[in-house]
């Protein structure tokens, strides 16, 4: 990297040093924030972490380069590029690169990922990714003799074991903080956690486990509309006591009820799974739309989002499908989900209908682009994807405007349902997870649920009922898993897996 014809052992050490220098500021920032760095024990622990990281990376890079210098250098280039991007997101959004975040990344589509593009990202990529990659490629390395290689490996391995033993007193602190430390160590955070993610995916059922057959108990025309929110936190809904009037239209609707609820995860794929399954489980049981469709209920799914488990129904409509017959500015936003909706419902020849609307309204970082201009109620708004560059008020204003727009969509939906006078109607609105907006220097979502702040977990659960359709229980707390059983109850579906205690209805 510094000159031509450098020995692989020296090259591995130099790469390890620059890997530590360029990509581990967040790692050591976390360390210094979580121990007394001015004490002797704190200084020794920091020094130990620096030394062990340097030696371990040199050890692993050395082995890879010796086996194949070409493949080894290729991997180092990949590491440099991915490290630069990872550090940008850690510094900008305070994310943690664990298995959960890897799942989030791998389930992100082009539209969402492109919204993160910024000048800051380009600078990180060029300075910390591309320039080091060029130097790695141009440096010529010389392999050492096999005997010398074995001696180096053996001595390094012995040193690592001895070092670990000597530092045994620090293992309690390291174990306590292992999740965060592992998620900030480059490149192993994403290498290890990507492997963990795919191992977990392979262990999941390849096909959904079918639930027991159900039957429809009556012929009363009934429709349940499940609206799945995106990144909506209850804290910013005026229906939940927020000081800014973000729900002016829903507040005027009759028969609107709110529940205190928490999400079971902080990312879309897991959050939506919780909403659609009949109980919390690591298994992939048949989800609500598939179950009802298989048991002769009309099921319609409309989405501007992604991340749901496999939906096996006839009427599944993505944004592209809905755009064909849509006109006006609203077609560029989530109100496209309402276009032609009443007509589609009336065209059904079945008595029981489940309609799912999967929105994307409050997903960051481009909150200001998630709603039409006329919903720019609170100003000024954050217009940068690098959210930390905005003031707290600008960020809240942009996000709050997405809630105002959500209020409009839900109220418009209720108005359409009111026109279906021959139906008993219910609307359930519940979010997949919440959102951080700069509290504790955290942004967006994806922090592991076990350590996530309340902003990423506390979600709205809003229910509207048509007149004289059903009575609600007095309980005002609910969970994402209440949705499955409440929908079955409202549509009068008799099933062996129905749990009366999980329904919100009397």
Confidence of residue 176 (pLDDT cuts 50, 70, 90): low
Q: Is there a single domain that holds both residue 328 and residue 442?
A: yes
Q: Is there a single domain that holds both residue 15 and residue 69?
A: yes
Write down which residue in 153, 176, 203 finishes a domain. 203
Residue 210 lies in a domain: no
Domain that holds residue 62: 6-203
According to the 3-state scheme, what is the secondary structure of 335-352? Answer: HHHHCCHHHHHHCCCCCE
Confidence of residue 206 (pLDDT cuts 50, 70, 90): low
Residue 209 lies in a domain: no
pLDDT for res 274:
95
pLDDT for res 261:
97
Q: Is there a single domain that holds both residue 173 and residue 261?
A: no
User: What average pLDDT does range 452-469 have in this prediction?
Assistant: 94
Q: Is there a single domain that holds both residue 135 and residue 235?
A: no
Q: Is there a single domain that holds both residue 302 and residue 389?
A: yes
User: What average pLDDT does range 481-495 have in this prediction?
Assistant: 97
Q: Is there a single domain that holds both residue 53 and residue 151?
A: yes
Residue 208 lies in a domain: no
Q: Which two tokens stand for residue 250?
A: 């829903």
Q: Is there a single domain that holds both residue 79 and residue 165?
A: yes
pLDDT tens column, 343-357: 999 999 999 999 999
Confidence of residue 205 (pLDDT cuts 50, 70, 90): low
Asked whether residue 100 carries a pLDDT value surpassing 80, the answer given is: no
User: What average pLDDT does range 234-251 have in this prediction?
Assistant: 98
Cis peptide before 13 (omega within 30 of 0): no
Residue 1 lies in a domain: no
Residue 80 lies in a domain: yes
Q: Is there a single domain that holds both residue 240 and residue 181?
A: no
For residue 92, give the nearest of 382, 389, 381, 364 by alpha carbon: 389
Q: Is there a single domain that holds both residue 194 and residue 45?
A: yes
Q: Is there a single domain that holds both residue 150 and residue 233?
A: no
Write down which residue in 175, 203, 231 finishes a domain. 203
Residue 211 lies in a domain: no
Q: Is there a single domain that holds both residue 97 and residue 192?
A: yes
pLDDT tens column, 54-77: 988 998 999 989 898 899 999 999
pLDDT tens column, 464-484: 999 888 999 998 999 999 999
d(CA 232, CA 242): 13
Cross-strand bridge partners of residue 229: 431
d(CA 429, CA 228): 6
CATH number of 272's domain:
3.40.720.10
Residue 113 lies in a domain: yes
Residue 212 lies in a domain: no
Q: Is there a single domain that holds both residue 164 and residue 256?
A: no
The domain total for the chain is 2
């Amino acid at each position: 990297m510094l000159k031509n014809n450098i020995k692989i052992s020296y090259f591995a050490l130099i790469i390890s040093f620059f890997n530590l220098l360029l990509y581990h500021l967040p790692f050591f920032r976390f360390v210094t924030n979580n121990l007394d760095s001015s004490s002797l024990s704190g200084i020794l622990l920091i020094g130990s972490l620096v030394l062990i990281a340097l030696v371990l990376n040199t050890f692993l890079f050395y082995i890879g380069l010796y086996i194949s210098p070409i493949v080894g250098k290729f991997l180092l280039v990949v590491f440099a590029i991915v490290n630069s991007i990872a550090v940008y997101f850690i510094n900008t959004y305070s994310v943690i690169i664990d298995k959960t975040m890897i799942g989030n990344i791998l389930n992100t589509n082009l539209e969402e990922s492109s919204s993160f593009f910024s000048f800051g990202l380009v600078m990180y990529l060029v300075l910390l990714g591309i320039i080091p990659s060029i130097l790695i490629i141009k440096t010529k390395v010389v392999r050492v003799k096999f005997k010398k290689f074995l001696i180096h490996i053996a001595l390094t391995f012995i040193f690592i074991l001895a070092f670990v033993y000597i530092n045994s007193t620090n293992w309690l602190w390291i174990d306590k903080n292992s999740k965060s430390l592992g998620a900030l160590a480059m490149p192993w955070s994403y290498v290890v956690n990507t492997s963990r993610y795919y191992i977990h995916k392979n262990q999941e059922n390849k096909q959904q486990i079918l639930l027991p057959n159900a039957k429809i108990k009556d012929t009363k025309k009934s429709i349940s509309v499940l609206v799945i929110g995106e990144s909506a936190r209850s804290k910013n809904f005026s229906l939940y006591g927020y000081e800014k009037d973000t729900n002016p239209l829903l507040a005027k609707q009759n028969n609107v009820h709110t529940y205190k609820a928490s999400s079971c995860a902080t990312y879309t794929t897991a959050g939506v799974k919780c909403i659609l399954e009949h109980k919390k489980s690591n298994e992939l049981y048949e989800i609500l739309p598939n179950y009802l469709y298989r048991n002769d209920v009309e099921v319609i799914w409309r989405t501007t989002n992604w991340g749901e488990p496999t939906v096996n129904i006839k009427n599944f409509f993505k944004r592209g499908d809905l755009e064909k017959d849509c006109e006006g500015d609203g077609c560029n936003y989530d109100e496209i989900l309402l276009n032609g909706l009443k007509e589609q419902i009336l065209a059904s020849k079945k008595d029981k209908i489940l309609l799912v609307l999967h929105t994307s309204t409050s997903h960051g970082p481009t909150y200001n682009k998630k709603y039409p201009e006329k919903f720019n109620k609170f100003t000024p708004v954050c217009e940068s994807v690098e959210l930390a560059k905005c003031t707290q008020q600008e960020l809240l204003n942009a996000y709050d405007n997405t809630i105002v727009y959500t209020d409009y969509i839900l109220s418009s939906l209720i108005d359409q349902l009111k026109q279906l006078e021959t139906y008993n109607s219910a609307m359930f609105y519940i979010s997949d997870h919440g959102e951080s907006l700069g509290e504790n220097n955290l942004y967006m979502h994806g922090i592991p649920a076990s350590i996530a702040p309340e902003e990423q977990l506390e979600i709205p659960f809003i229910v509207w009922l048509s007149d004289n359709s059903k009575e609600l229980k007095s309980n005002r707390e609910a969970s994402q898993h209440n949705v499955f059983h409440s929908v079955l109850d409202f549509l009068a579906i008799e099933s062996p897996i129905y749990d009366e205690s999980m329904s919100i209805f009397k």
